[in-house]
Amino acid sequence: MACGPGDLQSLTSPFSSARVGTPLYFEERWFQTCGHTNIACKMVKGKLVEVGKWPWQVSILFLGMYICSGSLIHHQWVLTAAHCLQRSKDPKMYSVRVGVQSLPDNGTQLLLTRIVIHEDFHNLISQDIALLKLRDPISWSPLIQPVCLPNNRFKLSVGTMCWVIGWGHKSTGVTPKTPYSLQEVAVKIINSETCHQQYQFLFLKDQKKFIGDDMLCVSSEWGMDSCQDNSGSSLVCQVNNSWIQMGVVSWSRSCNQHRFPGIYTSTSHFTHWIKRQITDMRFISRAGPAFLSPVTLTGYILLVSLGSLWLL
């Protein structure tokens, strides 16, 4: 969708769960379900831009500077990658911005009270998942909404097309836009055994399995890939008109080397871990409508740099 004359504050995208032409801020459907969007055109610095396509996406700041992405999965919790939080474990050093379309952007800045990093995250590769607790519960709006999160039984078949959402540029050798704009890249779920074979050169001696059950492998489509500045971004798949976060951007062999799949943290693998941290969390168990109270559902994936590895 491209915004043009006459599109200002109208919901016109096929991604939208609201009616075409519905004025922005006049619907209350975002209080009922997770994984729905309310796309509109908005005037920003004299230009019409598309907003609300990925309303769960947040930017994570360290001492006021952008470091990673995250996603809203609950009215008081953000999902991201564990490797994003290596600078400090002090929640007072971090904040998140919600309702942001590009960086830098004011948006709404929220403070944190707690950081929860998976207890088995040690090698910067596996168990790459973390949660951030907001100091104050968030108020949902058309531009700030949660994504759905699958439970441990929710699986997607190999070949399923999904999207990776994040800021920053998509491959090396490309000068990033300033400001960075929120972008999406089409990807496809691939077989974990295929992924295992392609990353076999990284195996340690006597290690039988490098790509664990806590990871998802995806290949990029149309010669594009997620790259730097996208750590903690969400891998989302549309099922029955709802967006479900199946992964969090974690790492890859290197940017823009398309023969190497991207590795994502599998959100369905960590259902029980998330439930221990967020007791009122609910999850999608099948491909059907997901109705919520103020509670929501979500998932993630991440990336960073470790020698020739990029943890995005």
Catalytic residues: 83, 128, 231
CB-based contacts of 293: which residues, under 8 Å, 6+ apart? none
CA distance 202 to 21: 52
H-type alpha helices, the chain: 192-198, 271-277
CB-based contacts of 284: which residues, under 8 Å, 6+ apart? 148, 149, 150, 151, 154, 239, 242, 244, 290, 297
CA distance 143 to 51: 7
H or E element that contains 236: strand 234-239
CA distance 264 to 251: 7
**β-bridge partners, 307:** none
CA distance 217 to 113: 33
